[in-house]
Structure 1
Amino acid sequence: MNTFFTIVGFGLFAFLGYWAWQQNRPAYRVPRKFPPEWRELLQKHIHFYQNLDAKGRRRFERKVRNFLRQVRITGVRTKVTDLDRLLTASSAVIPLFSFPRWNYTYLHEVLLYPSAFDRNFSTENPEQVITGMVGNGRNMEGVMILSKHSLKQGFANTTDKHNVGIHEFVHILDKQDGAIDGVPGELNDREYAKPWLQLMHREMERIRKGKSDIDEYAGTKEEEFLAVTSEYFFERPKLFKSKHPELYKMLRKVYHQDMAKRLRNPFRKPKRIGRNDPCPCGSGERFKKCCMNN
């Protein structure tokens, strides 16, 4: 009898464990091998990927697959395509590319909204235009929200110093040491934290006075300064290095990447898309019927 109850108890325990795993695993089944069509999308849309050698591209692909295994990507009133998944995963991989064993432990789901939203998560005539945010509180902990349209624009235009996906994933990185405070974990040692804070506050003051080419949003909070300058670092590294050599040196230390040295391919501005052109999301529909109004 005791043996019977032991077996039943073990079976129930195993079932509950499997059920919990099913509830928390990403809904999308990631292919065991990196699909050639994914590789083509990365080559076409991800400037960072284009500038890697063959070994680096294989590592990038491996990290993309690992991210998609661990984090659910859910569309809210919009369809999630393979391109959407790859753009989201690439946003996550780029800042962590040089960290072999690092994962986003504070994140389990990314919600893609069709367009900008507000604090009430409304996309129709939003009172406040938000293109990305990291959730907090009991119901939104571990969740990121991104505007699908803005995510695509961030990778379509590599000349504007902006990439909302990278911006929000830098906030997640910032949070890994327990607080989103603009001081990344790599600089938490007193030896580096003090110079970083001094440099950050000095540049924030210049931004507020209109004497810096860094986006003014970086002057609002320390955590936004880190996220905005990181966008600049990955989007326009050579310009960033020439304009802000001290900041560049600090962020090179944070991300273990010398982006200005790696960059080879020219930047690109997004092509003008006609109403009847194929939609750039890869759906096969005409632009006017797919993402034109998203």
Structure 2
Amino acid sequence: MTLFEEWRDLIENQTEDTFPEFWKEYSEAETKIYSDILDRPEEKMTGTLGELAEKYQVRPVIFMGFLDGVDSSLKKSNDFENFDENSQVEVEIEPEKLFYNMLAADAEYLYGLPQWETILGEEKMAQIAKEYKRSKTIVKGKKIGRNEPCPCGSGKKYKHCCGKTASRN
């Protein structure tokens, strides 16, 4: 079983009883790793998965979870699905994308880290937060009247074309 499969298995098999302890372990590890990365955002984190897990004093499967979570915020994606403890890891973040993704994950304990003010500044953080909120806003399209031409381009009135099927649903 790869570490990625072990990570997925660990997540999927949490119960109400085991989740609090798992979450405490994971979120503390994640906070520690991100704090270190954000202290030096321009540096690339490299090493084997096992070495990096040891550096941050976390289980390799927990470090695999961090890698799974950060992957969409990296300059270059890794093939984490086949990783084991000897696999080479390269983590180089895109700060703006990472901040946005932390907002999307509702991870206040991560997007609230003090290093963000130094890296992005309050104005940029507010702009990214605004972009994130805007992406969640649903905008309804213009309602088509029954007697208007059908938007499919058939030349028929909406009520005699696509509106006929829509009224049946």
TM-score (norm 1): 0.19
User: Going by fraction, where is helix more abundant, 1 or 2?
Assistant: 2
Higher relative contact order (CA 8 A, sep 6+): 2
